[in-house]
Structure 1
Amino acid sequence: MSPLFWILTLPAMLLALYAQYKVRSTFEKYARVPNMHGISGLQAAQILMRNEGLEHLRVNQIPGELTDFYNPADKSINLSQGSVRPSVAALAIVAHELGHALQDRQGYFWLRARASIVGIAQIGSNLGVMLFFIGMLLGALQNSFAWNLALAGVVLFAGAVAFTLITLPVEFNASSRAREMLMRNGLVARQEMEGVSAMLNAAALTYVAAAAQAVSQLLYFVLLLFGARRQE
């Protein structure tokens, strides 16, 4: 862990810590604020699914808080325990996941692009890092095999970085759809939209932080591999 590593990655690490704090504190704040209709997240999901042509979806309840996700494989939205309470936070989270369902139904380009590289991203985030460090330990600057091994690791890891970057427009668009759905269906008052937006913005920050971490780590790998070789 050279000084270069900390220079490149520390800001992104701090942003990630702040993002986690922000999403947690925002959720805790608005989970205590009842929505104007007094409906639970599950009821809101049923209303939106009926009105937005998403009645084909399955709704599952899963443990935890902020663990919600949409699964395009089985067309289900999976809502955590914290998202089924009658709160402003629940409305934001449920609508966001249904925003992903709308993306899926409409064939949203960035959602399809992200799905197409899931396998590459999973391999790159694990195998890529491992190959890079094995190559460096074998002496990538003096050995062509080790160099190619480390380079292959960088390329694979770049696939994982691409996944985090493509995730950004997917998440931002889902949040935009969430706001529109809630207003269109009259589930939030204008004063409640402040809380909804705060929740969605805090969640979006976590994805920005994840992308920043991935990019900074990739930049470190590239500079370590190519920068050191230029000095030889």
Structure 2
Amino acid sequence: MLFHPMDILIFLAFGLSLWAQLKVKGTFHQWAEVHANSSLTGAEVARKILDSNGLYHVPVELVPGTLTDHYDPLSRTVRLSEPVYYGRSIAAVSVAAHEVGHAIQHQQSYGALVLRHRMFPVVNFSSGVAPFLLLGGFLLQQTSLIGLGIILFSAAVAFQLVTLPVEFNASSRAKKLLVAEGFIHNDEVRGVNKVLNAAALTYVAAALISALELIKFIMIFFQGNSEEE
């Protein structure tokens, strides 16, 4: 089947994803031009928040690229891109605090993060195998292969859905910590919200695409079974 009715929704979701990626870049660059009143760099903010939460052992490292910021749970390291590490802007401190939010989640064994870590090895395998099973099932018209592919693909979709509360919670923690510790003033909260909400939208779009694709595969699977009967 070259075209499926769900493809329209998937196409729209891809459009949302592209728009979200452009928005997060545009929003980051916009607020990277706005100097934070604290005059602290992203790295300094990250270090201070980590220390105030007893995470003295968690290093803050520089990572190449732009918007490559992340928390590495294996080495327990906060890695910040150059514009964030050295930046003294609203965007820089917002992103830095968000990544520290993940470190605090790890320290407190935040449920969704723990589940995400446990799912990763399974998802790492299933996401690599599922496309081949689905493709083979469609080409050979074997609903059994499609069914197995759907099961494995479902794990990847579940992983993305679990990622959503992890990211939203990290952003919520970041906003509270930045205000509570005086790293941003009340008139700067709007900028922090803009930066973190734009980033969160990319995760929502990715999860939406995967969920719609899963629904499409399930519909094809049941349609194939009904035709065989």
Q: 100, 103, 106: which one pairs with 1:101? A: 103
Note if contact 1:61-1:81 (Cα within 8 Å) is conserved in structure 2: yes
How far off its partner does 1:196 sit?
0.5
Instruction: Give secondary structure in 2 for the equivalent of 1:77.
Output: strand
The answer to whether structure 1 residue 167 and structure 2 residue 163 are counterparts is yes
Aligned partners of 1:175 and 1:123: how far apart in 2?
29
Give the alignment of 1:1-232 within 5 angstroms: 1-84=2-85, 85-140=87-142, 147-232=143-228
Between 47-56 and 208-217, the greater mean CA deviation after superposition: 47-56
Q: Which runs of 5+ in 1 are unaligned?
A: 141-146
- Kindly provide the amino acid, as one letter, of the partner of residue 205 in structure 1: L
Aligned partners of 2:79 and 2:66: how far apart in 1?
11
Aligned partners of 1:4 and 1:133: how far apart in 2?
18
- Kindly provide the amino acid, as one letter, of the partner of residue 25 in structure 2: R
Aligned partners of 1:78 and 1:120: how far apart in 2?
25
Aligned partners of 2:74 and 2:64: how far apart in 1?
20
Note if contact 1:8-1:217 (Cα within 8 Å) is conserved in structure 2: no
How far off its partner does 1:52 sit?
1.9
Instruction: Give secondary structure in 2 for the equivalent of 1:61.
Output: strand
How far off its partner does 1:229 sit?
2.7
Note if contact 1:8-1:220 (Cα within 8 Å) is conserved in structure 2: no
How far off its partner does 1:190 sit?
0.6
Between 100-109 and 112-121, the greater mean CA deviation after superposition: 112-121
Render the CA deviation track for 1:172-230: whole Å, top value 9, x for unaligned.
00000001110111000111111011111001000000100110111111111212332
Between 35-44 and 155-164, the greater mean CA deviation after superposition: 35-44
Displaced runs of 4+ in structure 1, greater than 6 A?
none
Aligned partners of 2:199 and 2:141: how far apart in 1?
41
What's the C-alpha RMSD, in Å, of the aligned pairs? 1.2
TM-score (norm 1): 0.94
Q: How many residues align?
A: 226
Q: Which residue of the partner structure matches residue 144 of structure 1?
A: none
Aligned partners of 1:8 and 1:201: how far apart in 2?
23
Instruction: Give secondary structure in 1 for the equivalent of 2:75.
Output: coil
Aligned partners of 1:213 and 1:81: how far apart in 2?
31
Aligned partners of 1:76 and 1:179: how far apart in 2?
20
Render the CA deviation track for 1:141-185: whole Å, top value 9, x for unaligned.
xxxxxx322211110000000000000000000000001110111
Q: Which runs of 5+ in 2 are unaligned?
A: none
How far off its partner does 1:86 sit?
0.7
Identity %: 39
Q: Which residue of the partner structure matches residue 143 of structure 1?
A: none
Render the CA deviation track for 1:56-84: whole Å, top value 9, x for unaligned.
10111011111100011111001001212
How far off its partner does 1:5 sit?
4.6
Aligned partners of 1:43 and 1:114: how far apart in 2?
28
